Amino acid sequence: MTEPLLRVRDLKTYFVTEHGSGTARAVDGVSFEVQPGETLGIVGESGCGKTVTSLSILRLIPEPPGHIRPGSFIEFEGRNLLTLEPRELRAVRGNQIAMIFQEPMTSLNPVFTVGDQIAEAAIVHQRLSRRAARTRAIEMLRLVGIPDPEERVDHYPHQMSGGMRQRVMIAMALVCHPKLLIADEPTTALDVTIQAQILELLDRLQAELGMAVMLITHDLGVVAGSADRVVVMYAGQVVEQAPTAALFARPLHPYTEGLLASVPRLDGPPAREHGRLHGIPGQVPAATAWPEGCRFHPRCPYAWDRCRAEAPPLLDAGGSDPGTHTVRCWLLTDPKRRTPHP
Amino acid sequence: MTPALVDVQGLVKHFPGERGWLGLGRPRGVVRAVDGVSFAIAPGQTLGLVGESGCGKSTVGRAILRLIEPDAGRVTIDGQDVVTLGASALRALRRRMQIVFQDPYGSLNPRMTVHQMLAEPLSIHRLASGADAERRIAALLEEVGLDPGFADSYPHELSGGQRQRVGIARALSVEPQFLVLDEPVSALDVSVQAQVLNLLADLQQRRRLTYLFIAHDLAVVKHIADHVAVMYLGKIVERAPAPALYARPRHPYTTSLLSAVPVPDPKAQRQRIVLTGDVPSPAHPPSGCPFHPRCPHPKKDTRCRTEPPALREVAPGQLAACHFAEQPL
């Protein structure tokens, strides 16, 4: 087994709420690993702690109100990111670990050309001259498939479409050839056609550059085609973790099951033949008051007394390779209770 | 066959093109946002209107309700001509046709409570007041699956899904027959999207509503539409009953849109047609078939570059605007 590129252990990121009256436990004991060169999908609804997890890795959590609790551990290539000095951290951020965000419009600076914005990281981290950085920016634009890169390099973000801006974001993130790219909902605001283009681009770039990707999304349909492994998050915790094929073949947590049933499918029955979607009832509870016991029990179709009283640990789902498929659900101890979906 | 509730013929909406430096100077050319769109929707049915950003689908929805004035074409709702209607008659008709917007963050007034937002249309259209209005507001909230306790909440206190339910309740408050749903679930998480789609299907059945459902995702549309129209650069390029369109799409653009939908199955081996590039600007549409620069059809030839294909019936009830519709991809 190779050494993981990124190791997150028992990460707890809490926020003091506005009125100082409570603590939002946005990320509450999350552990996972990213291997070099792999794509890890992180899936869950809004409010499950996916984005806070990724911002914690880059230490971009505003303090206060947020803080990463003592005992949390984030190791990147053998170094604990949580104890790095600001200067050392800056050398990692944007250089070895890069991030792209959901909103390509608001995460680009409207008053600089896209070329300047791509070149900036190369100038700061790799000490390229302005001229060399500009050449690099044109190369990057070509790499992400923007036509006429020599001309586009001098354009401003508002002159580009949503899909092109997302390509520019990717070019910015990849200019220093990071070892890990964190992509937070990179396709959520885009048309399905542009989404397909961006996902294919990420796949191709990953193969060419050999980087690892953390793909964060609420849509299991998006990770199916590109992730090697999937971490499903709910209420600040990991509730299921498995290789992609195993997760889709045998989703074991009722939350994963619900997320999968929510995805509109082309191979489902048409509307008039009761093509109803089996969504998940209710919504993610507030992070200031996670439910007692299993945090999913109020929305779970199988919940019984034990789920309401006792919080389940991550249990091994068996399978050929122990520890690769883990599930935070009491059903694993009592499979007979998994009756057909009510 | 029942007469259509909504009938749109030859709808056209052009916008003036981009102006020069700082928006001064003459506009250059016109943007043909909607360029001769026709369809009909029978009572109680749903037409899914699908296409990428910028294809004109939202403009169609708004022009039908005359939220923007169409330049040409005929729109009738329940036999009444919408385009020529005077201001007061239009206001009266608005009671029967409503719209739900995509952005549940931008389309609700942040200074109004849910209760105020639902009470306003009732009083404007003089439908209910006093205790009667209270009863109706409570019933509306229940119907869209919101706890009556939310009546005193402001939009910022609600989640995206809850806001979209408020948007739907507001549209329903005046008891319309026809709803334009403009990307109502595109901004929501898949789990919430499923809840809202199910809600819309239930409401349609209960109230016998007619929907124009605008979306960019054909998988979403499959769960709600009886008929589907696919738009590209201001024109309908394919229109068919939903089962026919999903079983055998005739236009290569429809095929491409279908293949772009992510499939939640890692074992699915399928041929992906990834369209290259963006939608061309409707200010400078390509010559001939507007789709030809991006078209993946192996047979495309000079005819596609020079001769715009007409929307014609290729199979019973199925219309497509492609020279090679008989040999689909």
pLDDT digits (tens, 9 = 90+) for A82-98: 999 989 998 898 889 99
Whole-number percent of chain B with pLDDT over 70: 95
Q: Do A222 and B197 touch (CB under 8 A)?
A: no
pLDDT value, residue B269: 58
Listed residue (B329, B297, B325) closest to B239, CA to CA? B325
Instruction: Concatenate the DSSP letters of all residues of B208-242 into one string.
Output: T-EEEEEES-HHHHHTT-SEEEEEETTEEEEEEEH
Average pLDDT over residues A309-335: 89
pLDDT value, residue B147: 87
Listed residue (A30, A80, A105) closest to A314, CA to CA? A30
pLDDT digits (tens, 9 = 90+) for B293-306: 999 998 888 999 99
pLDDT value, residue A229: 95
pLDDT digits (tens, 9 = 90+) for B159-174: 888 899 999 999 999 9
Q: Which value does ipTM take for this structure?
A: 0.84
pLDDT value, residue A3: 86
A193 CB neighbours in chain B (<8 A) are 52, 216, 256-257, 260, 274-275
Please give the structure tokens belonging to residue A137.
């920016």
For chain B, the average pLDDT equals 89
Q: Does A71 touch chain B (CB under 8 A)?
A: no
| Rg of chain A in Å (alpha carbons) | 21
pLDDT value, residue A186: 86
Question: Does the pLDDT at position A342 exceed 60?
Answer: no
Q: Do B262 and A225 touch (CB under 8 A)?
A: yes
Please measure the distance between the N-terminal and C-terminal CA atoms of chain A and give it in whole angstroms: 42
Residue B24 in 3-state DSSP?
Answer: coil
pLDDT digits (tens, 9 = 90+) for B237-272: 999 999 999 999 999 999 999 998 888 888 775 667
Please give the structure tokens belonging to residue B28.
């250059």
Q: Is the pTM of this model over 0.80?
A: yes
Of the two residues A94 and A333, the one the predictor is more confident about is A333
Average pLDDT over residues B82-102: 91
Q: Which of A192, A218, A271 minimises the CB distance to B189?
A: A218
pLDDT tier for residue A20 given thresholds of 50, 70 and 90: low
pLDDT tier for residue B208 given thresholds of 50, 70 and 90: very high
Q: Do A270 and B242 touch (CB under 8 A)?
A: yes
pLDDT value, residue A258: 92
Type of residue numbered B69: E
pLDDT value, residue B178: 96
pLDDT value, residue A265: 86
For chain A, the average pLDDT equals 88
pLDDT tier for residue A269 given thresholds of 50, 70 and 90: low
